[in-house]
Amino acid sequence: MKIYVKIMPKEGVLDPQGKAIENSLKQLGFADVQEARQGKIVELNLDIKNEEDALALTREMSERLLANMVIEDFEISIIKDDL
Amino acid sequence: MKIYVKIMPKEGVLDPQGKAIENSLKQLGFADVQEARQGKIVELNLDIKNEEDALALTREMSERLLANMVIEDFEISIIKDDL
């Protein structure tokens, strides 16, 4: 089963990469950009058939390794290939 | 309007960060992990009301700045806050 974990800086946490993207886009003339924030995404391929088990395991992996819960939030989504 | 751009390494392109995550998860005992890949995500807040205009602009920004089209693929999604 394929799962995405999206990890973003928490609201209020400094996000220098996002700020750099925002400034670069504005300098390139994209004046409609109000804000840019950068996060990371981890795509996992799990040897698990059951959705609930996969979600629970991914939550544990996110809290233990993938995200830094002090400054980041994460969000998990299952990828349905056959839709 | 809020838009996400998800940028992942193309299939076949080396992804050392993803490999490092995969190895760390396995060392932590998460044996069900078959593969991990890491990409980045850019959340944009655009001063545009029309969805088609926002998508077209974001595609242009992704090609010109956000993604490196030689080694990365990108995917755009609009975030509906009011759903």
Instruction: Identify all chain A residues contacting B43, using CB atoms and an 8 Å cutoff.
Output: 8, 18, 36-39
Q: State the residue range of the domain holding A57.
A: 2-79
Domain count, chain A: 1
pLDDT at A11 over 50: yes
CATH of the domain at A60: 3.30.1280.10
Q: Alpha-carbon Rg of chain B, whole angstroms?
A: 16
Strand partners, B39: A41
Write down the residue that tokens 């059951």 correspond to.
A50
Q: A3, A35, A44: which to substitute to probe chain B, counting the most B Cβ within 10 Å?
A: A44
Encode pLDDT of A54-79 as tens digits. Answer: 999 999 999 999 999 999 999 999 87
Encode pLDDT of B13-40 as tens digits. Answer: 999 999 999 999 999 999 999 999 999 9
Write down the residue that tokens 């838009």 correspond to.
B3
ipTM field: 0.86
Beta-carbon separation of A38 and B41 below 8 A:
yes
